[in-house]
């Protein structure tokens, strides 16, 4: 029933292993052998749920295992937390032959990947994502980062994992809010690349909420396959990979302005997608029917379709001008032009953005 998808870049090829009950089977850590060292990075909640099973699998291989528990939440995705990992590595005498294992959601994965990319100038790492958002998006593709108080993911690197292990049973313990947040990134793929997948989501969203096994497997495989194709074409986000940032320019502004963790990443992206769609409408690039479909599907997933009531245009611009997609002080935003296709719109005017934010505030349908 499971699936293995290969991610290929110019320098690396690695598998994404997707299946149920992976923690009850010998893990596909094919490059680990007896005598190797690993450091598992996780948080308290995931430690209590899954650490013992992963530990036992690694112990059976015969590797030396240490672990470090870091604080949970987007607000702790900082250089201070990265230093906690470094301290644990150094105290336990981990050298360049060690492997970091990210056991957790997107925050754990991003921090661990970034730490791996710079510890002793780079060590191996494994992604074991435990949330829907990390399974379909952040664990795949090698974008690692931490936040700065002035901007989201401003300090980071492109650094590919050696393997991504997606145990679909982890979704059983995910809160409804976290699951909904992950669906924002799922819907993003349909809007950008695949109208048929978007239609499938419209027809099967209740099955996903009910954790129907066949539907969950299909959905996550589809997202990972779409992302792996983009990474193959554009690993370092020089062009086409930037499309995956649909909704993120506005969404990152919301996260940074409100304070990391107030809105979940997927919630901010959801509102950001709607603002991006309205921006596209202001430019006569998308029809209203497609915008309504996007809003209806996001609402069906219990996701916000409007930005925060207490956030104003100048606050958006403060963060938009710090966005990584700014080039020569010109604003570039990913815009949907129809369901199944998006573009990178260069040098968009402040007036169009302001009008879109205002219309989103007054959204009535």
Lookup: tokens for 263: 């809105």
Q: Reduced to 3 DSSP states, what percent helix, strand and coil does the chain have, rounded to the nearest 5?
A: 50, 20, 30
- Residue among 74, 235, 237, 257 flagged as catalytic: 237
Whether 203 sits among the annotated catalytic residues: the reply is: no
Alpha carbon distances (Å) from 85 to 32, 66, 70, 112, 242: 21, 11, 8, 8, 30
Of 11, 34, 121, 314, which is the active-site residue? 121
DSSP states of 211-229: T-HHHHHHHHHHHHHHHHH
> How many C-beta neighbours within 10 Å does residue 239 have?
10
Our answer to whether residue 248 is catalytic in this structure is: yes
**Catalytic choice (77, 94, 222, 227):** 227
Q: Which of 77, 143, 221, 281 is catalytic?
A: 143
Catalytic, out of 94, 152, 188, 248: 248
| Set 185, 235, 255, 267: catalytic member | 185
Q: Choose the catalytic residue: 94, 252, 282, 325.
A: 252
Catalytic site residue 227? yes
Three-state DSSP at 319 gives: helix
Q: What is the Cα 245 distance to its own chain's centre?
A: 10
Among this protein's residues, is 12 annotated catalytic? no
Active site residue 177: no
**In a 10 Å sphere around its CB, with 0-12 CB exposed, 13-18 middle and 19+ buried, how is residue 59 labelled?**
exposed
252 catalytic? Reply is yes
| Residue 167, token pair as written in the block | 């145990």
Q: Supply the DSSP string of 237-287, one letter for each residue.
A: -SSGGGGGGTTHHHHHHHHHHH-TTSS-HHHHHHHHHHHHHHHHHHTT-S-
Q: Is 121 a catalytic residue?
A: yes
Q: Which of 77, 245, 255, 360 is catalytic?
A: 245
| Residue 88, number of CB atoms within 10 A of its CB | 18
Has 237 been annotated as catalytic?
yes
In the residue annotation, 148 being an active-site residue is answered as no
Among 124, 265, 281, 325, which one carries the catalytic annotation? Answer: 265
User: Rounded to whole angstroms, how far apart are CA atoms 115 and 125?
Assistant: 9
Active-site residues, by number, are 121, 143, 185, 227, 237, 241, 245, 248, 252, 265
């Amino acid at each position: 029933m499971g699936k293995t998808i290969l991610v290929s870049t110019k320098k690396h090829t690695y598998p994404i292993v997707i299946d149920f009950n992976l923690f009850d089977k010998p893990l596909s850590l094919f490059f680990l052998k007896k005598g190797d060292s690993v450091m598992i990075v996780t948080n308290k909640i995931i430690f209590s749920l899954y650490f013992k099973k992963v530990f036992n699998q690694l112990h059976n291989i015969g590797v030396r295992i240490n672990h470090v528990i870091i604080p949970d939440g987007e607000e702790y995705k900082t250089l201070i937390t990265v230093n906690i990992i470094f301290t644990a590595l150094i105290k336990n005498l981990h050298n360049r032959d060690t492997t970091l294992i990210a056991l957790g959601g997107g925050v754990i994965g991003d921090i661990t990947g970034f730490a791996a990319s710079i510890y002793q100038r780079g060590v191996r790492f494994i992604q074991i994502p435990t949330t829907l958002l990390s399974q379909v998006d952040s664990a795949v593709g090698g974008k690692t980062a931490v936040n700065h108080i002035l901007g989201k993911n401003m300090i980071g690197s492109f650094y590919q994992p050696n393997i991504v292990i997606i145990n679909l049973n982890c979704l059983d313990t995910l809160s409804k809010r976290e699951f909904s947040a992950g669906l924002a990134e799922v819907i993003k793929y349909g809007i950008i690349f695949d109208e048929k997948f978007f239609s499938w989501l419209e027809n099967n969203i209740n099955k996903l909420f009910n954790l129907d096994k066949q539907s969950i497997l299909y959905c996550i495989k589809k997202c990972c396959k779409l992302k792996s194709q983009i990474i193959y074409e554009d690993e370092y986000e020089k062009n086409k990979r930037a499309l995956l940032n649909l909704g993120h320019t506005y969404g990152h502004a919301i996260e940074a302005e409100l304070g990391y963790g107030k809105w979940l990443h997927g919630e901010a992206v959801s509102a950001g997608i709607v603002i991006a769609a309205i921006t596209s409408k202001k430019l006569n690039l998308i029809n209203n029917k497609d915008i309504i479909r996007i809003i209806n599907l996001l609402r069906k997933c219990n996701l916000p379709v409007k930005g925060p009531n207490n956030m104003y245009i100048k606050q958006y611009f403060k963060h938009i001008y710090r966005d990584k997609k700014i080039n020569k002080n010109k604003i570039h935003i990913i815009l949907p032009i129809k369901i199944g296709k998006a573009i990178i719109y260069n040098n968009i005017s402040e007036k169009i953005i302001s009008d879109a934010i205002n219309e989103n505030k007054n959204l009535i349908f």
